[in-house]
């Protein structure tokens, strides 16, 4: 089975490929010659995942799935949330996003947060949503050099290390994306 993952992000592709059974061939947008940045115009994480999956299905006629992820911080009333990738501006700069988050949390004692991933699957004209969540806290400063995005400052519940200090295997056991992908895999097995 061939599935398109509606992403240009090689880090996401690597993480998800490590989780999928070998009989599923996973390709990204570049492999189908989709080089445009699909607009994320919804005000919800679910909506953005649906927009991206529908775009690929309609324009390229492939079975596909798309994800959208947001970091929701309690002390910031759920921000950055749906705007996580562009929290510090339109350039999608991971370092700038982390710096803005830490600045916005300066002096804050409540550092509870959660990562939420929603996957929209378009498979043989059927459309299904899957969700994964991981709770944790925001570190005082970035730590680690693995992963991407907010990984250097997100400490998952029950751990003392940030996602960026965990190996990809450790992260894939507990991450929000891995939880959503497991739901997707369970569905594909049926």
Residues identified as active-site: 68
Contact, 129 vs 64, CB < 8 A?
no
Both tokens of residue 7?
Answer: 């992403």
Strand partners, 66: 120
Coil/strand/helix, residue 121: strand
């Amino acid at each position: 089975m061939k599935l398109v993952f509606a992403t240009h992000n090689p880090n996401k592709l690597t993480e998800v490929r490590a989780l999928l059974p070998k009989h599923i061939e996973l390709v990204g947008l570049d492999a189908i010659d989709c080089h445009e940045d699909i607009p994320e115009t919804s005000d919800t994480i679910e909506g953005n995942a649906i927009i991206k999956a529908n775009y690929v299905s309609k324009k390229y006629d492939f079975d596909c799935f798309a994800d959208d992820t947001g970091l929701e911080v309690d002390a910031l009333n759920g921000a950055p949330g749906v705007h996580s990738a562009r929290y510090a501006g339109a350039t999608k700069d991971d370092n700038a996003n982390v710096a803005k988050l830490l600045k916005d949390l300066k002096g804050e004692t409540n550092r509870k947060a959660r990562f939420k991933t929603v996957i929209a699957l378009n498979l043989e004209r059927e459309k299904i949503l899957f969700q994964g969540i991981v709770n944790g806290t925001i570190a005082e400063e970035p730590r680690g050099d693995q992963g991407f995005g907010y990984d250097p400052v997100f400490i998952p519940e029950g751990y003392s290390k940030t996602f960026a200090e965990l190996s990809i295997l450790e992260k894939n056991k507990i991450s929000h994306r891995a939880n959503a992908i497991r739901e997707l895999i369970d569905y594909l097995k049926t």
